[in-house]
Structure 1
Amino acid sequence: MKKRNMPVMLIALCLTVLAVYQATEVSRSAEASAAAGGRPQEMVYQKPVPAFTLKGLDGQQYRVGGPREKPLLINFWASWCGPCLEEAPDLKRVYDKYGGQFDLYSVNVTREDQLDDVKRFVKQHELAFPILLDSEGTTAEMYRILVVPTSFLVDRQGNLREVIHVLPPDMLEKRIQALIQG
């Protein structure tokens, strides 16, 4: 039994290390820029995000693509993901604080997850933002998701502004503030 779990555990460990490394590098880059007197570096893409429509846990259909009333954070995650577990309270906090000024669509990569686990995760963390179900995995493929969590910051014109992974809470809040102001 233990030998069968070893590859899964190694893959999970590698994904966790990659997510932590990427978050650390983004944080270091932003801190270095701020220490030099500049704003945190922001990689601006200015390309439209791929359009999709997914059903939420609430039964509603959610559409992404094109101009929107508010900027958007699209967060891809899974209930079994350690960094997603770490990130959930920060997403909740930032949404509770700024939810009227931006939308947050939390896309569960359901093809890689169990619906009961998704519901339990959402209830445990008291997540009030829409939880979308990518049951076929096509949206994750369209967005080229290699590791979860991965988030996309989208401006009001529907353009990708930045791709982020787990960030410290203060850095996440700064990114959301910049998205709202942009």
Structure 2
Amino acid sequence: MKRNIVILSLGIIAIAAILAFNWPGRNHAKSNVTAGNGQTAVAAKPLEGSPAPAFTLRSIDDTTDYQVGGKRDKVLIVNFWASWCGPCDVEAPDLAKLYDKYKDKVDLYAVNETKYDTVRGAKDFVKEKDIQFPVLMDKSGDVGDDYKVYSYPISFIIDRTGVVRYRLEGPQKLADWEKMLDEVIAEA
């Protein structure tokens, strides 16, 4: 009897460990990199300073293709979100303010992770928030996979040469957004 309890307990612990490691919200986007002191550090991909993964996605109204990858005329924010995401809801007004302030110098693409959301939910969110910047639909989830997006919102600031300058997990303060954007814009 005691042996069965021990075996059952070990089985439960093993299952819990597997679930904890593979939980959908857990950030699996880790790879080992060598820190400046020679020790191994863990960093999310795509790494800041690396080229942004290229992609083409359709707009939410299915009329326009938007492309990312390589050189561009403006700095770019790529924001991954879902309509059911509470922090995305909180972040939306600040993104609208950023777009209004910087639209001559910065493109902003809001990428809906439609594989984990619904088209209807995304459209309702966009209408409710009166979003004026381009909203793209990642129906297959491939772009989110390429950017190692496992929680929402996650944003990337990409410079004019197509290099990721910032990977931002979670909503950011408006003043922090402005500071980062001003820095990247100034590096013409």
TM-score over 0.5 for the pair: yes
Q: Is structure 2 residue 64 aligned with structure 1 residue 52?
A: no
Q: Which has the higher contact order (CA 8 A, sep 6+)?
A: 1
What letter matches 1:55 in structure 2?
A: R
- Structure 1: gaps (5+ residues): 1-13, 19-43
Task: Name the residue aligned to 2:185.
Answer: 180
Task: Name the residue aligned to 2:150.
Answer: 146
Give SS of 2:122's match: helix
Structure 1 stretches of at least 4 aligned residues deviating more than 2 Å after TM superposition:
none
Structure possessing the higher radius of gyration over alpha carbons? 2
Task: Name the residue aligned to 1:7.
Answer: none
Between Structure 1 and Structure 2, which shows a larger proportion of helix residues? 1
The two structures have a TM-score, normalised by structure 2, of 0.72
Q: Determine the C-alpha separation between the residues in 1 that align with 2:168 and 2:186.
A: 18
Q: Is structure 2 residue 111 aligned with structure 1 residue 107?
A: yes
Task: Name the residue aligned to 2:82.
Answer: 78
Task: Name the residue aligned to 2:92.
Answer: 88
Q: What is the root-mean-square deviation in Å for CA atoms of aligned residues? A: 1.8
Matches within 5 A, 1:54-69: 54-58=57-61, 59-69=63-73
Identity of aligned residues (%): 42
What letter matches 2:141 in structure 1?
A: G
Deviations 1:66-102 (A, max 9, x none): 0001010000000000000000000001101111111
Deviation at 1:46, TM superposition (A): 2.1
The two structures have a TM-score, normalised by structure 1, of 0.74
Question: How many residues in Structure 1 have an aligned counterpart in Structure 2?
Answer: 143
